[in-house]
Amino acid sequence: MQRPFKQVDVFTGVPYRGNPLAVVLDGSGLDDAAMQRFARWTNLSETTFVLQPTAAARAAGADYRVRIFTPGGELPFAGHPTLGSCHAWLQGGGQPQSTEVITQECPVGLVKIRRDGQRLAFAAPPLKRSDPAPALLARVSQALGLRPAQIMAAQLLDNGPVWLGLWLDSSDTVLALTPDHARLKSLGQKVGVAGAYHAQQATSLIVRSNREARAFAGHAKPDEAAPDLEVRAFAAPLGVNEDPVTGSLNASLAQWLIADGLAPARYLVAQGSCLDRAGRVHIERDAGGQVWVGGESVICVDGTVTL
């Protein structure tokens, strides 16, 4: 069967510099095995299948349902597939029920997505977090080649996917990491690391000027604004040694870092630098306390797939 298909580059306005996503815009009639087989064939970090929402979700405002697969299995939620699927759905003629937001159904529930100029931004799902076991933290630190003094804070972050989040002493430390991916895979734990640019302390980030804050609110193009944080995502347990740009991780990092006063309510992330990518993730916590994770997307492949 011929099905509409798009390959989208997410968290970038420039083709081939973000995180690619394969989107099958009509996944009806496909069973789990067929979806998994196709996701394994695309060999991208994620492949999505867009479906009609369930009756209950549609009644609650859902515009479409999405299932998200890595080469190794299905995910309950992921950020770049959320934005990329929404972009593909809209470009394919999707009409949201609301003029305010687009609502996606996925295994974690209903996810709100808003338009923000040329970008889309999703509402970060509720976060559960806890302190990691000292033994796990020690083993992960060794696999990353980190000294204890380079880790300023650590949390287990769960917003569907579960990440071990590490706040490091600088962006330079983040960029210099050469992980032992085989060791990380054996630990079965996805790891996300973040560090501030220019050795900025959290306090200097938080008190920056209103003029700078307005720039990061979306009044400057991503490439025109210097990033505040560098982020890397290591997901060897899923068969992806390093993910180019990761929405779910950035969502959970933002909720943690902002809540604990380690980052301001609005900031810009660079991710993918070590993979020759130029991903940009825009973070904002609104007046109601909701964290939004946004970025641009571009379609690189547009056609049909036999599936």
| pLDDT over threshold 50, residue 211 | no
Contact 21, 305 (CB under 8 A): no
Q: Contact, 69 vs 39, CB < 8 A? A: yes
- Of 16, 18, 14, 7, give the one whose Cα is nearest residue 270: 18
| Cα–Cα distance for residue pair 272/277, rounded to 1 Å | 5
SS3 call for 178: coil
Contact present, 189 and 140 (Cβ < 8 Å):
yes
Q: What is the pLDDT of residues 221-236, one digit of tens each?
A: 444 589 999 999 999 9
Residue matched to tokens 């972050």: 157
The Cα 159–Cα 129 span in angstroms is 9
Residue of 70 and 283 predicted with greater confidence = 283
Q: What DSSP string describes 53-78?
A: PPHHHHHTT--EEEEEE-SS-EES--
User: Phi/psi at 49 (nearest 5 deg)?
Assistant: -130, 120
Q: In this predicted model, what pLDDT tens digit does every residue of 65-114 receive, in sequence order?
A: 999 999 889 999 999 999 999 999 999 999 999 988 999 999 999 999 99
Classify 14 as helix, strand or coil: coil
Q: Is the pLDDT of residue 161 over 70?
A: yes
CA atoms of 203 and 257, how far apart (whole Å): 12
- Answer yes or no: is pLDDT of 17 > 80: yes
Per-residue pLDDT band for 204 (boundaries 50, 70, 90) equals very low
Mean pLDDT of 186-195: 98
**Domains of the chain, first to last:** 2-122+296-306 (3.10.310.10), 128-289 (3.10.310.10)
- Angstrom distances, CA of residue 248 to CA of 31, 122, 276: 25, 10, 21
Please check the confidence at residue 182 and state whether its pLDDT lies above 70. Answer: yes
| Per-residue pLDDT, 238 | 82
* Per-residue confidence (pLDDT) for residue 145, from 0 to 100: 98
Which of 139-143, 212-216, 240-244 is the least confident region? Answer: 212-216
CA dihedral 296, 205, 270, 256 (to 10 degrees): -80
Residue 210 has pLDDT above 60, yes or no: no
Given a contact cutoff of 8 angstroms between Cβ atoms, the answer to whether 287 and 295 are in contact is: no
